[in-house]
């Protein structure tokens, strides 16, 4: 089996207007997920420790970080507080 690098594939798919719109619609979620994972890693906090601080289970953190879970704003806020982060949403418009 030959592996295909993601970037050239994504670039090809981005030429499809429907794919591009769906991708763009998920930008905020990707940015949020990335920021929380980066903050956890930068602080040297394990998923288990973040779960303890946020009052949830490690499996919920793993699902969130894998992108398999569409979190509520309340859940994201819990994670933000547990990481001593301030959640701020701004408009690009």
Summarised one tens digit per residue, pLDDT across range 11-37 is 999 999 999 998 888 888 888 889 999
Quote the tokens at residue 14: 């981005």
**pLDDT computed for residue 90 by the predictor:** 74
Domains and CATH numbers, the chain: 14-82 (1.10.260.40)
Q: What is the pTM of this model?
A: 0.73
% pLDDT > 90, the chain: 58
Longest Cα–Cα distance of the chain, Å, equals 44
Task: Return d(Cα 33, Cα 30) in angstroms, integer.
Answer: 5
- Residue 91 is predicted with a pLDDT of 66
């Amino acid at each position: 089996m030959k592996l295909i690098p993601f970037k050239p594939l994504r670039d090809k798919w981005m030429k499809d207007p429907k794919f591009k719109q769906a991708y763009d619609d998920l930008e905020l979620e990707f940015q949020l997920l990335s920021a929380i994972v980066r903050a956890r890693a930068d602080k040297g906090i394990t998923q288990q420790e973040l779960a303890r601080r946020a009052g949830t289970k490690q499996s919920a953190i793993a699902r969130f970080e894998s992108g398999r879970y569409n979190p509520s704003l309340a859940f994201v806020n819990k994670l933000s507080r547990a990481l001593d982060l301030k959640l701020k949403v701004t408009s690009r418009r």
